[in-house]
Structures are given as C-alpha cells and as structure tokens.
A = this chain, B = another copy of it.
C-alpha cells in the first residue's frame, strides 16, 4: 500500500515517523504548504533508515496531478487543514485513490464535499484518529445499551494552558447523549491528555480510561485505518464502521 501524506506540521511529522517505521506500507511522498525542506525527504529529516522514499514537495511548486503521475499512491492521508481537500480531493477521486482525513473540524459545506467525493472513492474521516479513543467511545455506547440506567461522567485532563473543553470529550458526550455539563475538565501541569469515562453502576463502578503518551498515536491510528480500508468499496466511512466488525465472536 503506497501512501501520500498531506501536511507536515507537528502531527504530520509524527504520522510520518510512524509510517516510516512500519513495513506494511510505503510512504511515497509528503506534500506540504511551505517551501521548507523541499527536495529533502521525510526519512532524512526524521533520521529514520528505510527504503521508503518519503520525498517532500510543496504545493507551491507541484500540481497534485503531476505528483500522482510521477509517484502514484493508493491512499492519501490528510493531516493538513480544512481546505486541503479542495486541493487534492477531485484528482484523488478521479483516480480512485482513497482518502483518509484526520482534520479535526470541517464546515458543513466541506462535509458535503467529502460525501460527494465518496461516490467515486473510499473517503474516511475521523476528527480524532487515535485507536484507543475510538475504541472507548464505541464500547461506552454499547455499555449504555446494555445498562441504560448507568450514570456516565466524563473527566478530561490536559495541561494547564489548554483553554477550551477537549473536543474528544465533547464527541464522547455527544455519542452517549450526555449534556456537556457532564464533562469535568481538569487543567494542571503538563498532562498530555487523559480521558476517563466513569460508569456508575449500582454497587460497582467501571472506569474506561485513555491516556495519551505522544502524538505518534495519530500515526498508529492512521495506519490502522489505512489497513482496514484496503478492500472497502467506494463510500463514506467513519471509525465506528471500521471497528464494528470486530465486535462479534
């Protein structure tokens, strides 16, 4: 599976660093906005020994059609920004190149664009691409089905400077039909990110906890998704649909 990566900020670099260390896929190129590091390669920049090319290009200097001609890929992974899809989306869809977007927020208009593209190719979108969080969300939803009277409270902890309530916590609240008031936000020191779903049963308590160690978890999640999209038909996918088949015996 040949991969093209859009975006080379902090998240993009972490994703590249995970992809370059696996042998299951090959990172063909990285496409970024700025000219920085152009004509260099991701393996060189990250100091990783690999046969994967991972060449760095700038959108200012190369058209996506040219890039896909000279270095074709099976899937494009997008860690850039909301408008990046307008740059590569149509060309990818025409060529049946799969699209995996980890952009945390899209306007309604751009979501419609994704849906439209999904008529021609596989389009996957997740605003939080880590496997652990998506696993927790789905099992918490199932718990709510099993025990509708359980009390759910969400506790999210992050470093002191983080201002707003965690977007992931909001997603969990939405999926569990909880009021956002049921989210308790802790801001202290250097905590990278911790989400806990407290499930208060009668006479017992279940706690579902996710702790982030580093940004590389995004790359690990993207890789999981990419491998799980291999045999999919064109259409629009979210994380839940990929996980669901595993929940059977």
Q: Does A87 reach chain B (CB closer than 8 Å)?
A: no
Beyond A131-B146, A142-B246, whether A217 also contacts B201 by CB under 8 A is yes
Assess the A205–B211 pair: CB atoms within 8 A: yes
Give residues 143-175 of A contacting B (CB, 8 Å).
143, 145-147, 150-153, 155, 157, 159-160
- A130 to B: closest C-beta gap in Å: 6
Residue A210 lies at the interface, judged by CB distance under 8 Å to chain B: yes
> Residue A189 contacts which of B151, B184, B190 (CB distance < 8 angstroms)?
B151
Which residues on the B side are within 8 Å of A160 (C-beta)?
151, 200
How many protomers of this protein does the assembly include? Answer: 4
Query: Can you list, as one digit per residue, whether each of A186-225 has a CB less than 8 Å from chain B (1) or not (0)?
Result: 1111111000001111111111111111111101100010
A192 to B204, CA, bound (A): 10
**A84 at interface (Cβ–Cβ under 8 A)?**
no
Total chain A interface residues with beta-carbon distance under 8 A: 59
In the assembled complex, which residues on chain B have CB atoms less than 8 Å from the CB atom of A200? 159-160, 187-191
A12 to chain B: closest CB distance in Å?
Answer: 15
CA of A213 to CA of B184, assembled, Å: 21
Q: Can you name the residue of chain B whose Cβ is closest to the Cβ of A216?
A: B203
Report B-chain residues with C-beta under 8 Å of the C-beta of A240. Answer: 249
Q: Determine if A207 and B198 form an interchain contact, defined as CB atoms under 8 angstroms apart.
A: no
B residues in contact with A230, CB < 8 Å: none
Write the chain B residue with the least CB distance to A188: B200
Q: How far is the CA of A18 from the CA of B203 in the complex (A)?
A: 10
B151 and A206 contact, CB distance less than 8 A:
no
**Which partner residue on chain B sits nearest A160 by CB separation?**
B151
Contact of A205 among B142, B146, B191, B205 (CB under 8 A): B191
CA distance A79 to B58 in the complex (A): 41
Residue in B132, B152, B209 whose CB lies within 8 Å of A188: B152
Contacts A/B (CB < 8 Å), 16 sampled: A18-B203, A131-B146, A132-B199, A132-B206, A136-B206, A153-B186, A153-B187, A155-B184, A159-B200, A191-B200, A201-B217, A201-B220, A202-B216, A205-B213, A206-B211, A240-B249
